[in-house]
């Protein structure tokens, strides 16, 4: 055994050594050549943070696919990068300025604030890239892209101007989603709805000039001051007498009309609705229909405005409490009742979102969405797993709404709109171009100056260009990179951004390249803790990736996250799966030490039949799994592929093959068997490498002096498989296991020799495996017999009977009881199968192959019943 090999696998130094080696060799760098490209663009994580476990899964899946492609002859190009994340980053910078420097954003000019923002990005933006390296990701570090890079900024502005000129972007006042914490507009997709326990407050509105009141149920008493009407259903008999009447709005004593509209559900609440056009989208639409005024009672930070007349400057939720108290004091609050409702929350700040009428910029989505829908429905872009996400994708695109793309922030791509003092505007990339446009329109610029729009564009408006602009496809159309690498091969992403990003990238690709941006989309599941909760910072249940890697090693973490991750389904993750990965590493390391121990004990021997069979069998088993794994890659069943490789190595190679090929005590190993063993080990490491790159590269080089690196070693095609050898191998494993089980149940020690007699339906099956069987079960001899062996322990292996003779006195009572239990079970099973086969409807309607399976079950059960009955007779 090599003295340089540690007791267990120690990943830290090995990981750093190999990652640096791969970088030095520039294995991850790609340039266009004659090979077929395999292109992946990383879903750019926010520059604000660190990789959580969802990112870890996502990055690991991508690395598996990219490494596999690189080892399969493709020119693999994986582009890394990060997203400027307007809302989240600006919040972080504002917080930093206030906490560390005592500076408010509003004390700074825009230019000074952006200097601080870029300084913050330079300080913290590299954390994610460090984590990506630690995880072993084989990205092309020469191609790192940031969505605020100069060329990328230029591309975003260019697309905005182009879409505006095509009439696909417009500016207008509409009801939008407002985040009072970030003080910015949000798109519909950035609002996350949650079911919460709320309350309905029943409030009396006095009919003007009478002692009559209309009772209205509302969830938001703090918006009463914005009421401009009360609405009832025209078919509601309770309110017919109120046509043409008005009511007095509580708290502000405003007189407003009673209007009639079928929108109101007479069965909900009291059948009467307060109409607050400034603070509810449905009320806004009612207001437009009936010509109602709009009273906006909220400031941008969620406090009440002067238009509210009362509770001015108080936060909306505190104002709710005060409004309830005042209504109660005034005798206008009848009752409160619990009510289950849905509230919209900002995905970025978790603040409760307010509907708000605001002048914003919008993208017309219908035409863009139609192209993106066709690309997926036609199969041009393939979604995996299709059965889970195609319908969701289709529903959203068929019901798409215009996209609000302006954000009231400073960090991001500034909207290229320029305003004259009279409010007219033009869209242009620079002030000079804007002035030319104003002059061309013959517009007089009073005051002689123009101002640029203060808002920036939604972050997703930049990231929807990602597959194109990482290759400068917008800024330098038809350059060699975009022509070679686009469309990309696979997009790996989370299901939660199917609308934010995936659909919009397809829209942008179809619009600007007239081509899909990727061939395949693979959706990973949501990572949850072992209690089923979504991992989040607020719950404190998401582990630190670097700490996990420090404890278990990167390979073990990659193993842990992937082994738990069936395609598209949520996965339960805890440290135990990483521990399983570490144990697997140690299993591999121990196997390496065993093989290295044999290295100095090679000799040209007459290869034993046992070793010869072991080599032949494992050759077939390896080829079988290579074919299975290739198919799993094609179907994106990566977790299953890893489990299959894991089982091949742990069970077939370590537990069976190495035992079968192992030389006798102090005996040399045949050189041919040793060389075959090393070759098998190399191929296993190659098969495992995309999943666990560090330990596989290390073992590959420890096995012998190599002229190449596993990272770029090309896969060979799997050969034809000899099923007969695989069947013999399975028979051998089952027989050994059965005999070992008999030893345990009958307290026969492993060192006590036994005689084994095999009564087989096909005795030739045992010819090549007898010598291994003899060695593995410590048998004096293994004989093929035609009849039952009296006084021996009998056990069934498939249809064959194995008799074990021992000099030890046996208690046949326990054996009889076990056989009788098996016999009883098989008889019951046979009755159920016969019942099914005697059902004419089943036989006529079931598929022929299903009926054949049942018939085989019947024949198999009958043979086993016969064999057990004979064994019982032999026991007396």
As a whole number, mean pLDDT of residues 636-644 equals: 95
What pLDDT is attached to residue 1?
37
Final residue before a domain boundary, out of 334, 352, 370: 352
Question: Which residues belong to the annotated binding site?
Answer: 537
What pLDDT is attached to residue 869?
81
- Asked which of 167-181, 378-392, 465-479, 703-717 is least confident by mean pLDDT, the reply is 378-392
What pLDDT is attached to residue 872?
76
Of 310, 273, 274, 298, nearest in space to 357 by CA: 298
pLDDT tens-digit series, residues 764-777:
888 889 989 999 99
In this structure, are residues 93 and 113 in contact, taking their beta carbons and an 8 Å threshold?
yes
The tokens describing 548, both together, are 């996990």
In this structure, are residues 320 and 222 in contact, taking their beta carbons and an 8 Å threshold?
yes
The tokens describing 338, both together, are 């619990």
Q: What is the rounded CA–CA span in Å between residue 806 and residue 79?
A: 66
Query: Exposed e or buried b for every residue in 505-526, given b needs 16+ CB within 10 A?
Result: bbbbbbbbbeebbbeebbbbbb
In-domain check, residue 792: yes
pLDDT tens-digit series, residues 33-74:
999 999 999 999 888 777 788 889 999 999 999 999 999 999
In this structure, are residues 262 and 235 in contact, taking their beta carbons and an 8 Å threshold?
yes
723 three-class SS: helix
pLDDT tens-digit series, residues 620-637:
999 999 999 999 999 999
For the chain, what is the mean pLDDT? 91
Q: What is the rounded CA–CA span in Å between residue 727 and residue 130?
A: 48
Compute the 3-state secondary structure of the chain and give helix, strand, coil in percent, each to the nearest 5: 50, 20, 35
Residues contacting 241, CB < 8 A, separation 6+: none
Query: Exposed e or buried b for every residue in 157-176, given b needs 16+ CB within 10 A?
Result: bbbbbebbeeebbebeebbb
What pLDDT is attached to residue 2?
47
In-domain check, residue 96: no
Residues contacting 95, CB < 8 A, separation 6+: none
One DSSP character per residue, 794-815 reads: EEEETTEEEEEE-SS---HHHH
Strands 602-603 and 406-407 turn out to be: unpaired
Q: What is the rounded CA–CA span in Å between residue 565 and residue 301?
A: 42
SS (H, E, C) 135-175: CCCCCCHHHCEECCCHHHHHHHHHHHHHHHHCCCEEEEEEE
Name the burial class of residue 490, with classes exposed (0-12), middle (13-18) and buried (19+) by CB atoms within 10 angstroms of its CB.
Answer: buried
DSSP letter at 208? T
What pLDDT is attached to residue 664?
81
Q: Which domain CATH number covers 797?
A: 1.10.287.380
Which residues on adjacent β-strands are paired with residue 216? 203
In this structure, are residues 484 and 439 in contact, taking their beta carbons and an 8 Å threshold?
no
Of 95, 38, 48, nearest in space to 68 by CA: 38
In-domain check, residue 610: no
Torsion of CA 677, 679, 682, 688, to 10 degrees: -80
Of 355, 230, 342, nearest in space to 284 by CA: 355
Determine the number of helices (DSSP H) and then strands (DSSP E) in the chain: 28, 31
Q: What is the rounded CA–CA span in Å between residue 356 and residue 174?
A: 8
Residues contacting 819, CB < 8 A, separation 6+: 794, 868, 871, 872, 875
Torsion of CA 143, 148, 154, 155, to 10 degrees: 60
Q: What is the rounded CA–CA span in Å between residue 405 and residue 360?
A: 8
What pLDDT is attached to residue 642?
97
Question: Which residues belong to the annotated binding site for ATP?
Answer: 537
In this structure, are residues 412 and 455 in contact, taking their beta carbons and an 8 Å threshold?
no
pTM here is 0.85
**Residue carrying the six token digits 């090393």:** 678
Strands 184-186 and 417-419 turn out to be: unpaired
Residues contacting 655, CB < 8 A, separation 6+: none
Direct distance between the N- and C-terminal alpha carbons of the chain, in angstroms, rounded to an integer = 53
pLDDT tens-digit series, residues 282-328:
999 999 999 999 999 999 999 999 999 999 999 999 999 999 999 99
In-domain check, residue 443: no
Q: What is the rounded CA–CA span in Å between residue 324 and residue 222?
A: 8
What pLDDT is attached to residue 537?
56
Q: Provide long-range contacts, Cβ within 8 A and 24+ apart, for 616-619.
A: 616/725, 617/657, 617/660, 617/725, 617/726, 617/728, 617/729, 617/732, 618/652, 618/653, 618/657, 618/680, 619/676, 619/680
In-domain check, residue 576: no
The tokens describing 390, both together, are 């195609």
pLDDT tens-digit series, residues 111-162:
999 999 999 998 888 889 999 999 999 999 999 999 999 999 999 999 999 9
Name the burial class of residue 118, with classes exposed (0-12), middle (13-18) and buried (19+) by CB atoms within 10 angstroms of its CB.
Answer: middle
Whether residue 9 has a cis bond before it, omega within 30° of 0: no
Residues contacting 847, CB < 8 A, separation 6+: none
Phi-psi region of 261 (alpha: psi -120 to 50; beta: other; left: phi over 0): beta
Of the two residues 831 and 870, the one the predictor is more confident about is 831
690 three-class SS: coil
In-domain check, residue 483: no
State the pLDDT confidence band at 876, using cuts at 50, 70 and 90. low
Output the CA angle 35-41-469, nearest 5 degrees: 95
State the pLDDT confidence band at 836, using cuts at 50, 70 and 90. confident
- Asked which of 216-230, 336-350, 467-481, 567-581 is least confident by mean pLDDT, the reply is 567-581
CB atoms within 10 A of CB 707: 4
217 three-class SS: strand
**Torsion over CA: 576, 578, 581, 585 (sign):** negative
What pLDDT is attached to residue 446?
66
Q: What is the rounded CA–CA span in Å between residue 82 and residue 88?
A: 13
As a whole number, mean pLDDT of residues 820-833 equals: 88
What pLDDT is attached to residue 158?
98
Query: Exposed e or buried b for every residue in 47-84, given b needs 16+ CB within 10 A?
Result: bbbbbbbbbbbbbbbbbbbbbbbbbeebbbbbbbbbbb
In this structure, are residues 570 and 388 in contact, taking their beta carbons and an 8 Å threshold?
no
Of the two residues 801 and 363, the one the predictor is more confident about is 363
Whether residue 564 has a cis bond before it, omega within 30° of 0: no
Q: What is the rounded CA–CA span in Å between residue 281 and residue 509?
A: 32
Q: Which domain CATH number covers 221?
A: 3.90.740.10
pLDDT higher than 70, residue 874: no
Of the two residues 791 and 428, the one the predictor is more confident about is 428
pLDDT higher than 80, residue 470: yes
CA 288 centroid distance within chain: 43
From residue 801, alpha-carbon distances to 797, 863, 866 in Å are 6, 11, 11
How many domains would you assign to the chain?
2
As a whole number, mean pLDDT of residues 543-553 equals: 92
The tokens describing 870, both together, are 């004979």
- Segments forming the whole domain that contains residue 775: 750-874
Rg (CA), the chain: 36
DSSP letter at 453? -
Strands 800-805 and 754-759 turn out to be: antiparallel
Q: What is the rounded CA–CA span in Å between residue 83 and residue 493?
A: 14
pLDDT higher than 80, residue 613: yes
pLDDT tens-digit series, residues 456-469:
999 999 999 999 99
CB atoms within 10 A of CB 743: 18
Final residue before a domain boundary, out of 337, 352, 367: 352
Beta strands in 323-465 (DSSP E): 333-346, 354-363, 382-384, 403-404, 406-407, 417-419, 425-427, 451-452, 456-457
Q: What is the largest CA-CA distance in the chain?
A: 116
What pLDDT is attached to residue 22?
98
pLDDT higher than 80, residue 407: yes
In-domain check, residue 113: no
Of the two residues 183 and 664, the one the predictor is more confident about is 183
In-domain check, residue 2: no
In this structure, are residues 784 and 763 in contact, taking their beta carbons and an 8 Å threshold?
yes
783 three-class SS: strand
């Amino acid at each position: 055994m090599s003295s340089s090999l540690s007791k267990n696998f120690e990943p830290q130094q090995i990981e750093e050594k190999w990652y640096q080696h791969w970088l030095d060799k520039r294995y991850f760098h790609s340039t266009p050549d004659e090979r077929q490209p395999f292109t992946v663009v990383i879903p750019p994580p926010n520059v604000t943070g660190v990789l959580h476990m969802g990112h870890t899964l996502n990055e690991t899946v991508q690395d598996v696919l990219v490494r596999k492609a690189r080892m399969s002859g493709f020119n693999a190009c994986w582009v890394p990068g990060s997203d400027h994340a307007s809302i989240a980053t600006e919040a972080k910078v504002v917080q930093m300025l206030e906490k560390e420097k005592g500076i408010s954003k509003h004390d700074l000019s825009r230019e000074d604030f952006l200097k601080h923002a870029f300084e913050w990005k330079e300080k913290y933006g590299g954390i994610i890239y460090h984590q990506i390296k630690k995880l072993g990701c084989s990205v092309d570090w020469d191609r790192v892209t940031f969505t605020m890079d100069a060329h990328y900024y230029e591309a975003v502005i260019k697309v905005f101007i182009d879409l505006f000129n095509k009439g696909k972007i417009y500016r207008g006042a509409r009801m939008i989603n407002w985040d009072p914490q970030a003080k910015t507009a949000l798109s519909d997709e950035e609002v996350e709805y949650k079911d919460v326990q709320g309350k309905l407050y029943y409030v009396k509105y006095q009919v003007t000039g009478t002692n009559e009141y209309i009772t209205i149920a509302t969830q938001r008493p703090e918006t009463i001051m914005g009421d401009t009407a009360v609405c009832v259903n025209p078919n509601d008999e309770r309110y017919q007498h109120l046509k043409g009447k008005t009511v007095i709005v509580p708290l502000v004593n405003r007189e407003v009309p009673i209007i009639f509209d079928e929108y109101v559900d007479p069965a909900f609440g009291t059948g009467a609705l307060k109409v607050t056009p400034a603070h509810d989208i449905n009320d806004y639409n009612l207001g437009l229909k009936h010509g109602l005024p709009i009273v906006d009672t909220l400031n941008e930070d969620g406090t009440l405005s002067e238009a509210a007349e009362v509770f001015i400057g108080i936060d909306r939720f505190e104002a709710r409490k005060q409004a309830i108290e005042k209504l109660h004091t005034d005798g206008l609050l009848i009752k409160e009742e619990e009510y289950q409702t849905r509230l919209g929350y900002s995905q970025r700040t978790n603040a409760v979102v307010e509907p708000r009428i605001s002048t914003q910029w919008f993208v017309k989505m219908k035409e863009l969405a139609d192209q993106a829908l066709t690309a997926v429905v036609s199969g041009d872009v393939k979604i995996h797993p299709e059965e889970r996400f195609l319908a969701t994708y289709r529903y959203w695109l068929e019901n798409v709404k215009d996209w609000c793309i302006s954000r009231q922030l400073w960090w991001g791509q500034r909207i290229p709109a320029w305003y004259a003092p009279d409010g007219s505007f033009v869209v242009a990339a620079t002030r000079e171009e804007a002035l030319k446009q104003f002059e061309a329109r013959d517009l007089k610029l009073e005051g002689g100056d123009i101002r640029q729009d203060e808002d920036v564009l939604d972050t997703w408006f930049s990231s929807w260009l990602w597959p194109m602009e990482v290759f400068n496809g917008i800024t330098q159309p038809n350059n060699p990179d975009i022509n070679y690498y686009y469309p990309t091969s696979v997009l790996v992403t989370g299901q939660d951004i199917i609308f934010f990003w995936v659909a919009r990238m397809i829209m942008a690709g179809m619009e600007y390249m007239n081509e899909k941006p990727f061939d395949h989309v693979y959706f990973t599941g949501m990572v949850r803790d072992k209690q089923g909760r979504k991992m989040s910072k607020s719950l404190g249940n998401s582990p630190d990736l670097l700490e996990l890697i420090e404890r278990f090693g990167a390979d073990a973490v990659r193993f842990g996250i992937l082994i738990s991750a069936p395609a598209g389904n949520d996965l339960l993750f805890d440290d135990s799966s990483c521990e399983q990965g570490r144990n697997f590493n140690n299993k591999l390391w121990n196997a390496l030490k065993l093989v290295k121990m044999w290295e100095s004990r090679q000799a040209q021997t007459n290869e034993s039949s046992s070793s010869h069979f072991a080599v032949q069998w494992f050759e077939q088993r390896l080829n079988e799994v290579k074919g299975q794994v290739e198919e799993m890659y094609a179907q994106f069943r990566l977790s299953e592929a890893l489990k299959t490789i894991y089982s091949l190595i742990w069970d077939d190679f370590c537990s069976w093959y190495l035992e079968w090929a192992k030389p006798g005590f102090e005996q040399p190993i045949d050189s041919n068997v040793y060389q075959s063993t090393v070759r098998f080990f190399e191929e296993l490491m190659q098969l495992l490498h995309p999943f666990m790159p560090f330990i596989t590269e290390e073992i590959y080089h420890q096995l012998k002096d190599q002229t190449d690196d596993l990272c770029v070693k090309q896969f060979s095609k799997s050969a034809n498989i000899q099923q007969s050898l695989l069947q013999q191998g399975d028979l051998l494993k089952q027989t050994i296991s059965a005999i070992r089980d008999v030893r345990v149940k009958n307290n026969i020690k492993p060192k006590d020799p036994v005689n084994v007699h095999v009564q087989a339906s096909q005795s030739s099956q045992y010819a090549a495996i007898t010598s291994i069987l003899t060695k593995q079960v410590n048998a004096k001899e293994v004989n093929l017999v035609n009849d039952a062996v009296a006084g021996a322990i009998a056990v069934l292996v498939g249809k064959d009977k194995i008799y074990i003779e021992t000099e030890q006195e046996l208690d046949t009572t326990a054996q009889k009881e076990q056989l009788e239990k098996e016999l009883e079970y098989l008889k019951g099973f046979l009755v159920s199968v016969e019942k099914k086969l005697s059902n004419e409807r089943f036989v006529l309607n079931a598929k022929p192959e299903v009926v054949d399976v049942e018939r085989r079950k019947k024949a198999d059960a009958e043979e086993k019943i016969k064999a057990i009955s004979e064994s019982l007779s032999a026991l007396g």
